[in-house]
Structure 1
Amino acid sequence: MEPILFYGVPQGCSFGSIVALEWLGRPYRLCRIEMLQQPWPAGYARINPMFQTPALLTAEGRPLAESLAILQHLAAQDLGPQGLGHVQGTPGFDRLNEVLAFLNTDFFAAFGPLWLAYEREDLDDGKKALLRTLGAEAVRKCFAALDGLLAGREWLVGERRSVADAYLAGIARWAGYHRLFDLGAEYPNVARHLGKLHADPAVAFADAIERKAPSTSVGAFRGHVSLDDALQGLR
């Protein structure tokens, strides 16, 4: 069977997994999860009992959760000279693991206070202001590290694109959503890199998919499936 990616909207971190699947170029399907609709369908617990996205139903019918695990699963299918991943045990693999871990932990978590201030209606203005201040400080620290990493470099890992670049495309856009800073003025290397990514057809496709806008796959997208239909392939 074709793998199925369960992606969340709006502004889901699953965005990067869609980009990676497009770059991989192998047949896949998508299952849309409206994260703001509560409660989530009970059947989703069979895919991920934490009720989070992304999740992947592999070609073997095995559920796989967490962005880091999904992206490494996809990278392992493309280990050629221009592939998305690196052979385990090589310096390239270690570097990819390191960058993915940074993006999936420090970078992702830095936005946590900002999302909390945005979503929690029960917090007073003072608490929300404190959360925004703490979040902005953490995000700036991460963007500074990324700007240094990308100085004189075309991609996050080595001389070719990888699943780390795909993941970055989905997470870094949150800085613009929260209107934290002038990216081009303060972090020019990150701005250059994100400009290149946003011009990529796979990134444009993922953006259109999230917005339910007309979209053209440059990979091997085979359409959407419902959660009920997706569960039929679970083993």
Structure 2
Amino acid sequence: MTPILFYGVPSGCSFGSIVALEWLGQPYRLCRIEMPEVVSGEAYRRLNPVGETPTLRTQGGQLISESLAILNHLGARGIDRRLGFAQGTPEFDRLNQILAFLNTTFFGAYVPLWFALEHGGDAEQQRVLREFGTAQVRKAHAALSAMLGDKPWLMGEQRTLADAYFIGIARWNDYHQVVDRRDYPNLQRLFDRLEADPAVKFAHAIEDQRNAQSTGQFMGEVALETVLAEETVAA
């Protein structure tokens, strides 16, 4: 069974999992999930009761949700490419530490800004949310910049799943414009390096529904209805 990643648009954090799948170089398919309409609907909740993306249907048919869990699953399949590391090694612990920071502090910093953008509210509520979110995003950028230092990638000399996850979140500043990434030259350098990567260009093209050139083993997109029909037959 070919794995399927259910990715959210527009600009879901599932972007990082698409990049990771491209780097992994193993066959996979994608299923586009529109947010908020489809992701919160009854059909998709048959696969993910929480109603969030991403979700991965694995080669064995299991369903995994949450970016951190999906990336760790892919990392276990990509140890030979050093996208992930064997559990119990210092490298595994370090990668998990960085992924956890990205998943909580870096991702979480944008939550007030997304709430303000998507749910509105009165002017005072908007001001408070933007001020709080801006302070959190700046703090997260400063911490991550210090963590990166002058290394080419978040883990050092080798790109890993952490870099894939980073680029999917870092682009959110395009929506909110609360930091100038040039104030964090280490992160700007990493951002530019990743934006030039073929897998990242592929993920952007997939989201934008442009002609996408895979350098991995992308096997095409599949409709949610088709996947659900397959699940029903299998049951």
The answer to whether TM tops 0.5 is yes
Equivalent pair of 1:85/1:93 in contact (CA under 8 Å): yes
Q: CA deviation at 1:83?
A: 1.8
Cα distance in 1 between the residues matched to 2:26 and 2:39: 33
Task: Give the letter for the 2:212 counterpart.
Answer: S
- Aligned residues, how many? 232
Worse overlay, 195-204 or 148-157: 148-157
Cα distance in 2 between the residues matched to 1:25 and 1:180: 35
Change (3 A) 1:90 1:39: closer
Runs (5+) with no aligned partner, structure 1: none
Equivalent pair of 2:6/2:31 in contact (CA under 8 Å): yes
Hey, what does 1:26 align to over in structure 2?
Answer: 26
Q: CA deviation at 1:37?
A: 2.1
Hey, what does 2:198 align to over in structure 1?
Answer: 201
TM-score of the superposition, structure 2-length normalised? 0.95
Q: Which secondary structure state, in structure 2, belongs to the residue aligned with residue 44 of structure 1?
A: helix
Equivalent pair of 1:54/1:67 in contact (CA under 8 Å): yes
Equivalent pair of 1:92/1:158 in contact (CA under 8 Å): no
Kindly indicate which of the two structures has a greater share of residues assigned to helix: 2
Task: Give the letter for the 2:18 counterpart.
Answer: I
Segments of 4+ moved more than 4 angstroms: none
Q: Which secondary structure state, in structure 1, belongs to the residue aligned with residue 152 of structure 2?
A: coil
Hey, what does 1:135 align to over in structure 2?
Answer: 133
Q: CA deviation at 1:39?
A: 7.3
TM-score of the superposition, structure 1-length normalised? 0.95
The partner residue of 2:156 within 158, 161, 165 is: 158
Cα distance in 1 between the residues matched to 2:135 and 2:72: 29
Q: CA deviation at 1:41?
A: 3.6
Identity %: 54
1:162-184 deviation line (CA, Å, top 9, x unaligned):
11100001001112221112211
Task: Give the letter for the 1:92 counterpart.
Answer: E
Check if 1:210 corresponds to 2:181: no
Q: Which secondary structure state, in structure 2, belongs to the residue aligned with residue 31 of structure 1?
A: strand
Runs (5+) with no aligned partner, structure 2: none
Aligned pairs for 1:1-235 within 5 A: 1-37=1-37, 40-80=40-80, 82-121=81-120, 123-184=121-182, 186-231=183-228, 232-233=230-231
1:146-177 deviation line (CA, Å, top 9, x unaligned):
11112121111132111110000100111222
